[in-house]
Structure 1
């Protein structure tokens, strides 16, 4: 158990930095799509999330996980796509619930959902995808 969690804090901090960059991309694009261009919050959230996943994939692969399992790039990309598709659905559900049931401002809902999905994505990458 200890060897499996070795370097967890270091890896989490690197993922936090990479995730922070991806979150800024996500929030900035959401802001532009929703508040400036008038897209529905669900469409804006989906579009911004997809771009942030691309940023997160490349930065995370290079600086956090470094393809430590030596996956074929296509297998790794498909695995990340599956993981992030569930992350996207979680993001959209959380935003919807926060706005429709909690009457929370959309930008605030987006930021809150990002935090929860960040934990989801890191956990699945660390203990499922890169558990080799």
Structure 2
């Protein structure tokens, strides 16, 4: 149980850093550089995803010897895109039900983030982590 708690804490730290990178790149590209916000969000998501993959597979999860790094990254990407879809579905539902006031949007985003965080950890642990095998 101690190892699982330690792994969850490491996952949280990596997630916080990835979020800062995502928001930072989005801001720099869309504000000072004036790029389209939607394009900027796509780029920032990709930059954050690459960091998240590298940090997660180095510090949080143990590489499975029966899986190539390229396959590992593809699975990581697919799981992340499913998380993004879950986030978008929750955001759309929240805005439809609660409206688009700042409080409604941010409250919905907190819920979406919590649910996607659980999805990301559980799915990555199941499909990518070698666990105690090493």
TM class by smaller structure: 0.7 to 0.9
Aligned-pair CA distance for 1:89: 0.9
Range 103-112 or range 22-31, more displaced: 103-112
Aligned-pair CA distance for 1:95: 2.5
Q: How many residue pairs align between the two structures?
A: 125
User: Cα–Cα, structure 1 residues 118 and 49, in superposed 2: closer, same or farther, change >3 Å?
Assistant: farther
**In the aligned structure 1, how far is the partner of 2:73 from the partner of 2:105?**
29
TM-score (norm 2): 0.71
Find the counterpart in structure 2 of residue 65 from structure 1: 61
Residue 126 in structure 1 maps to residue 125 in structure 2: yes
Unaligned runs of 5+ in 1: none
Larger radius of gyration: 2
User: Cα–Cα, structure 1 residues 47 and 116, in superposed 2: closer, same or farther, change >3 Å?
Assistant: farther
Tell me if structure 2 keeps the 8 A contact 1:27–1:111. Answer: no
Residue 86 in structure 1 maps to residue 85 in structure 2: no
Find the counterpart in structure 2 of residue 16 from structure 1: 12
Unaligned runs of 5+ in 2: none
**In the aligned structure 2, how far is the partner of 1:85 from the partner of 1:8?**
24
**In the aligned structure 2, how far is the partner of 1:26 from the partner of 1:122?**
18
